[in-house]
Amino acid sequence: MFTRFFKFFGKDLSSKEVEKFSLLALAFFFTVGGYWLLKTLKDGFFFNVVGGQFQPRAKMLSLVVISILVLVYSKLVDIFHRHQLFYIFGTFFAVFFALVSISLALPVHSFGPAYLQYIKILGWASYVMVESFGSIMIALFWSFVTSITDTESAKRGYFLIVAGAQLGAIFGPFLSWNAKFFGLPILFAMATACILALILVIKKFISVTPQEELIGGKQDIRPQEKTGFWQGLKLITTKPYLFGILLLVIFYETVTTIVDYQMKILAQALPEYATKEALTSFMGIFGMATNGLSLLMALFGTGYLIKKFGLRFCLLAFPVAVGFAIAALYGVIKLDFLTTQSMLWATFTVVIIAKGLSYALNNPAKEVMYIPTSRDAKFKAKGWIDMFGARGAKAIGSGFNEYLIRTPDVLLYLGSILSLGLIGIWIIVALLVGNKFNRLIKNNQIVG
């Protein structure tokens, strides 16, 4: 059924490509679905048991933990086959979130104050681990896909992977929306089940996919040497094309971190979202709205836009759209006529536009940019960019939030001005990187 669904929407795909991309879409369904379930859980859990004012610090702490995981990831790329990394990291995260589920299910009155302190520590740990899961597993998935897909096949089939992901990304927040019914322990258990399902799908994919379908586009035929953790950073700093990709990630993550925090602080200030279940439910609504927009774009817009207008157009269209949305929000803030409730839904709309278009338009375009790159660039440089670079940008945005939250009204005002300035530079970088990609494809070259 899943394959027939994708065959209907992917009429340009061959039968082998349909089977290949349908399994990859199913794998990404569980990856992104599990991540969005955890993403909505982490905010409701953390804001309630630790406090929203500490969220910027939690993001900065995440950067430290992810830096360590990048060390491990870069080393394991040299030791294990690509698909085996899913088994290793998937098992690690599944065990942790199963522990969280069990811990939250224990009766509070049986343990007293010590248990409450443990839960607060668990709130910090779960926040960091969810952030790490999003960095590691999603980056690993796309690195795996780009290494087994050529440019033309990617243009035909990537939108199907994104569509499968958005189905999962709607399902995960839908579960969170019902947090009052399920409770957080069961929801964390469901997230664990998604991770285990991902491992099983990857195992199935490797067992049924022909070897010729596991080879990507132009390959780096230079002798393979053992390279260490720093090779990824070296490639980024010595190859302007890869450094340009890093800048695109930094600008996006910094801008969305600022406006996303604006939304969550406004939500926490309202009494109807005072409990962890209520805030988790609100984040579930947010997740469904964001990914609903992404799904529509993936099914009816992403593939068409990339094929019709090319990658450079997609890279430029995204920051322009986000810029217009934030400019409108700044106008509303400047006029100062909305209640806290109305301002919440205004920021809610801006974040939906930024993240929804990112998942459906910017992310697929960004992943296509890695096709004309070497294996080290696909795995190690990309690992640095998606894990360390993205989280570093979030830490930068969180640093601004940490300062501005001392005066919440200024958080909305100055945060919007800062975001607009960053978007202006972002557009210039997108133009340069898009032009470079076109030249690489035209000349059949690789970077790295």
Write the DSSP assignment of 356-410 as a string of letters: HHIIIIIHHHHHHTTTTB-HHIIIIIHHIIIIIIHHHHHHHHHHHHHHHTTSHHH
Q: What is the pLDDT of residue 220?
A: 44
Secondary structure (DSSP) of 58-113: HHHHHHHHHHHHHHHHHHHHHHS-HHHHHHHHHHHHHHHHHHHHHHHHS-GGGTTH
Neighbours of 325 (CB within 10 A): 20
Contact indicator for 379, 77 with CB cutoff of 8 Å: yes
Residue at token pair 């209640």: 339
Q: Which helix (H) or strand (E) holds 212?
A: none
> Residue 223's pLDDT is what?
44
User: Tokens for 102?
Assistant: 């069990």
Q: What local confidence, expressed as pLDDT, does residue 219 receive?
A: 46
State the greatest distance between any 2 C-alpha atoms of the chain, in Å, as a whole number. Answer: 68
Q: DSSP string of 140-153?
A: HHHHHHHHT--HHH
pLDDT value, residue 52:
80
Q: Which ranges in 221-357 belong to alpha helices (H)?
A: 230-238, 240-268, 276-297, 303-309, 311-335, 340-357
Mean pLDDT by 10 residues, the chain (448 residues): 52 71 90 93 88 85 83 81 88 95 79 78 93 87 80 73 82 92 93 96 86 57 52 85 91 91 85 86 90 75 72 87 91 80 89 83 81 79 78 84 72 85 93 88 81
* Tokens matching residue 367: 């992943």
Provide the terminal-to-terminal Cα distance of the chain, rounded to the nearest Å: 40
Query: Residue 12's pLDDT is what?
Result: 63
Q: What is the pLDDT of residue 193?
A: 96
Does pTM top 0.85 for this prediction? no
Could you give the 3-state DSSP secondary structure of residue 215? Answer: coil
Q: How far is CA 402 from the centre of its chain?
A: 22
Q: Give exposure, 129-167, as e/b (b: 16+ Cβ within 10 Å).
A: bbbbbbbbbbbbbbbbbbbbbebebbbbbbbbbbbbbbb
Say what the pLDDT of residue 222 is.
Answer: 42
Q: Contact 73/228 with Cβ under 8 angstroms?
A: no
- What is the model's pLDDT at position 191? 96
Of 363, 385, 381, nearest to 372 by C-alpha is 381
Rg (CA), the chain: 21
CATH class of 12-215+230-442: mainly alpha
What one-letter code names the amino acid at 298?
A
